[in-house]
Structure formats: structure tokens, C-alpha cells
Chain A
Amino acid sequence: MNVAKTDHSRVAALFDAAREGDRAALDELVSLLTPLLWQVARDQGLDADQAGDVVQTTWLRLLGSFAEIRSPVALTGWLITVTKREAWRTGEKRQVERPLPELPERLTEAAPAPEEGVLREDQRVRLWRAVDNLPERCRSLLRIVAFVHRPDYAEVGARLGMPRGSIGPTRGRCLARLREQLLANGEGDWL
């Protein structure tokens, strides 16, 4: 399901249809990209109600702007930019240091649903701890990039305020830090 959610070719097909006025395609784009925009809005320090309002406003604004957007990659970038701008306009001051939210315990169900995810409990806890140890900038970047399909990384990095040329290295640096922690804690491989 995670793979399907971030399937770039699906987004590309929906983008073309939606731009031609296909409302069902637009609805499906909303399903696919709203989880990303939710994380963007929350990462700006908005509370849940404000974040929901901001994400909705972003989609409403898209209605009149669809014709100006050239490609699915540009669409993702546009949505992120508008979400950030709307979040900023709500006037909430972003806290400098925000602790990572509590990770809820994964309920061990009798029949685990495969689409619910692949991480085992031990891996989840260790990965979350490693995320917690990252510098704020890395944590923020990986939070958003994790919700983006691959061809959009460079565009998204640029919209997150990183020079286009440095997004690859920056992302690589953050992931490398994450790996270092996971592989160096003496508990064996994270794998």
C-alpha cells in the first residue's frame, strides 16, 4: 500500500486527467497527496485543526491554478509551497525545539494486515529513537521526503528551502546519519 501511495506514474496519469477537468482524478490526487501535505502543515508547528484547515485551503486554491502547473512534479512542489505559506499566514509561531511525538505502541493483532506496514516493534522503536537524535533540519527533511515519490525529491527539497543542487547531498547526509546510528548501537544490524 505504501508503494501504491507513492506510485509516481499513477500520480502522473491522474494529474493529466485532473487538469482536463476529471473530478474523479482530482479526488484521487487528494487521497494520494493529502497525507504528505498533512505532514508539511504539522511540521510547521500547527495544531491538528489548523493543519486540516490549511491543507484544505491549499486544495481549494489549486482549483483555479491547475492550468498553470506544468507537470506532476511541479504539482507536488506547488502544493507544498502553498501549504507552507498558508501555515505561515495562520500566524502561529513555530517553536524552535519541538520534541518528537510519542510513538504509540503497535497493537499486536492476531491477523496482521499486510498493508498496515512492515516494521517490527523492535525496529520501530529503534528507528524512532534514531530519528529523535537527528538534527531538527534532518528530521524535518526526512519527514517530508518520506511521503514523496522518488522523482519529486529534488523539487521538494527546493521547496523546503534547500538549493536545488544540494538536496541530494543533504538528503544523503541525513539518511547516512540515520544509518550510522542504527548500525552502530551494538545491537546488531537494523535489518
Chain B
Amino acid sequence: MTTVEPPGANEPLDELDFRLLAGVRELWEDADPMPATLVEQIRFAIALEDVDLEVMRIREQEGLAVTRSAAEQGRLITFDSESLTIMVNVSPEAAGTMRLDGWLTPPAEHPIEVRTANGPLTTTSDAEGRFAVNGVAHGMVQVLVRTLGRSRTVSTPAIEL
């Protein structure tokens, strides 16, 4: 395939090129803006003492479109990584807070920490891998599984509930 080089293709970038690049950046920022809360969410997620993390991915969310930022109704989120799957059901409580019901696969007793905007809530999963945490405030939530017998902490991404 022969391509015809446009004039100037091989020259070093000049002032106009840099203005064009700045303009392209501005236009993409306008046309496809980053969510306003994304940086805040990431900062919350990485404010961890642990650095040796196994990071989970969000595999599926039910009711995503309706309840992405508010858990008015029950919502089921599945996270997974190489070694672990966590299903978390989020349900509203009368006090305006939320209850998280979790289920680890493979099932095992592990210390669980639910990080919230108001500080951490801790519990332990039972032999079936189940755990529950009450009184979770709306806002950023991140679940850490401090797996016994291994140095790595398993972490979900922070999600806005």
C-alpha cells in the first residue's frame, strides 16, 4: 500500500501542532467528560495501608441502570479475581443506611473489612463464606478480604452506594 505523505508529516512539531493538540484535548474533555466523582472515588480506593493487593473486578451488577448511585432497592454485585469471587447483596435499611450480605467462593472464614466514608466496619465470614454488615452509610464502599494464610489482601474497587 502506498501512502501519500501529507506535507509536514516528517517535520518536528511546531507551535500550531501543540495548539492543535491542546484543542483536541479540550474538545474530548467537552465531548466525553470524565465523571466528576471519578478522581475522588479512586483516591478513596487507593487510600489503603496494604499495597500487596489482589484486585477484584466487577463481573456483573444487577439493577445497574436504576440504582447505580443509590441503593433504594436490593442490588446484587459480583466481584471476582484469580482466587476469589464475592457476591454482595445491598439492601436498604429503615434508618436510611444499608445492609451488605456477602458470600465468598471458595467458602472460608476470613476477616472482612468494609471501608466506608465513615470508617471501617469489620466482621468475619463463616465457614460457608457468608458475612453481613449492617448500618453502612451511603457513599463510597470498598470490601477487603484479609485472607487467612496468605499475605495478600483481596480488594474490590470502591463503588458508590
Contact = CB atoms under 8 A, between A and B. Distances in A.
A1 B30 CA distance: 15
Interface string A40-69: 001000001100110111011111101000
A146 B68 contact: no
Contacts of A101: 31-32
A30 B38 CA distance: 10
Chain B interface category by residue count: 35 or more
B1 interface: no
Contacts of A104: 30-31
Contact of B17 (A34, A143, A175): A175
A191 to B, nearest CB: 7
A127 B9 contact: no
Chain A interface category by residue count: 35 or more
Contacts of B31: 100-104, 128
B53 interface: yes
Contacts of B127: none
Nearest to A153: B13
B23 interface: yes
B70 interface: no
A38 B41 CA distance: 13
11 contacts: A39-B28, A55-B38, A56-B42, A60-B46, A60-B155, A117-B26, A169-B9, A172-B9, A172-B10, A176-B8, A177-B6
Given A55-B42, A59-B46, 5 more contacts: A2-B26, A38-B38, A53-B57, A64-B53, A124-B26
